[in-house]
A and B are shown apart, each in its own frame.
Chain A
Amino acid sequence: MSSFSDDLDQFRSEVSAFIAEKCPQKLKDMPSSERSICWGGKRFTFSCDEQRIWMENAAAVGLTAPRWPTEYGGAGLNRAQEKVFREEMAKAKAPSPLESFGLWMLGPALLAFGTHEQKLKYLPDITNGRIRWCQGYSEPGAGSDLASVQTRAEDKGDHWVVNGSKIWTSYADKADWIFALVRTDKDAPKHKGISFMLIDMEAEGVSTKPIKLISGTSVFCETFFDNVVVPKTDEEGNSRIVGELNRGWDVAKHLLTHEREMIGGGGSGAASGVLGGRSLGAFIDTLDETIMDDPVVRSQTMELEIDTLAMSMTMERYKDMAKQGGVGHASAMLKYSGTELNKRRYELLMSITGSEGVEWDGEHGSLAPEWLRTKANSIEGGTSEVMLDILSKRVLELPSS
């Protein structure tokens, strides 16, 4: 499908030419915001036609999923090529052609645990932006203790009947399908009776309800399953379970490590939001010039600038370590430190903007909601305390008794 060169310099000029030609200028000029993200899916409304064109152009050569194999809709790039692609995108100010939980979570799970037929069925729909997935992990009674999920799937011969509820399912109200952890063996020890199941959100008995957060937004939902019939196999004979029956915890754990690296990355140097990639100092310079005369503000800013830069170096170092053979449980460090840092940065931003910062939609745009949203960073994807537990037990190998 794709015919990019293996030679890195050659590849750079090819991909740079591709971006120049295939990504409409309008998108390159558009400031990045929640609205500028292209999520895809049956129910997605493109913010403009150019957004759709860029998604389709990129998908046509697999560049919505650069590292995935070409037979599943990816571009089959190696890590070095992917890095070049991202660099050229940044240089051209081209936005990501497509973002989705399918790309971030389900795809990697299927690539690691799925059958060839499952990959052929589900992955191209993700890379083409046709199907939008959401993640059904947490439940009202299963937060940090995720393995205690109670949503159950009863075996009815040729199908399952699913009952229960999920919480914190991001964008569930806009998703076409959900990948969910469900209990398929209620008598097994809690980690052993869980399966990783694929469920059509249009199925009878699935409903969602948005949860309004302290930041005023409602990205998260509750998702309810009321006697939802899930066929054991689809028309082509593919199982609706990824990995082995009752071994869904292995898939979930694999994905959580993935998620941690992603969330940790959000706290590093290239923060989006009001900073838009600027240094804290540069942002502060746009404010009242006397702000930096306050020695406390100045000292906090210096400290955060140092910690932010050191954190982004660490992200780079860990990415390179991952290339060389993986970072394993140490990824919990990125998640812990990255999210705690991001919270500190936003506390400082709120402090220096003073009374202007507390307006919902004032001079500093979305600063207040962004600040409030950061408080979830150290909860979602495993709390800071769970990360410290992982580091203690798995990396430092401290005893459990």
Chain B
Amino acid sequence: MSWIVDNQLTGFQKFCVNVIKCGPVPKHIAIIMDGNRRYALKNKMGKTEGHTKGFERLAECLLWCRELGVKEVTVYAFSIENFNRTKEEVDTLMSLAKEKFEKVFEEKDKIMMEGIKIRVLGNLSLVPEDIRILLAKSVLLTKDNDKSILNIAFSYTSRDEIVHSMKTIVEGLEAKKIEPRDVDVDLLSYCMYSNQSPDPDILIRTSGEVRLSDFLLWQIAENTQICFTEVLWPDFSIWNLLGCVFKYQRAYPTLKKYKDVCQSKRKILSNRIIAFLEDIEKKRMEQMEVYAKA
């Protein structure tokens, strides 16, 4: 099963996509793909097979998003907390991840042709080396693509990200790259792993769970339409996705109003801050190259 699947939408599905596209379309969707194990249990298959089915669904969902014109998708692939699962399951998940990221290079041409940029959000220092190399290489390979963006939260928790951002700022202050008066909410946002992305417009969590489980807390807090749905991730269909977008469209006027209020409070960035942020981004890329070469 590959990252890029052929377009299998029926005529009617395509028609509905076109209708929904007449309204405001989200720029960025975040997904907690929950329910692979429950799906496996329900269908009497092994956990691994459940996770594989989950990945297949992700590839399809990315296609639907491209069809809809959603530019950016962020998925919660592996939480730092997931390292606490049984060794057997962590190993399974890691080997699945390895297999999928090796696939990125097998399907290099297709991915480059579709212009897909892969970014990884998370604390990569905790990831086993063989996978870290693959993650870093995928990021570097696709860094100049810009048609659609896939952010993979791997070895990620939001609290870890917030602490990372605070640390970055304190270090910047100590190195005199920025000044104490530069420190505000926006600067913290710009120092998150997700600093290259707008806040998600929609958060989808499948399988009936109704909490955020340490995923993008900072980015979702402000202006995101939350969609908790009962369906298990491998059963997630284009109709579920369209349903979520429809709800987003219902909420759009209210969200927009609040967004404008928040935006109006934002300051214009000074050259000093811009230089600091460019420096962070440069360092991050350099770190990726170090990881890739290991």
- A and B form one complex: no
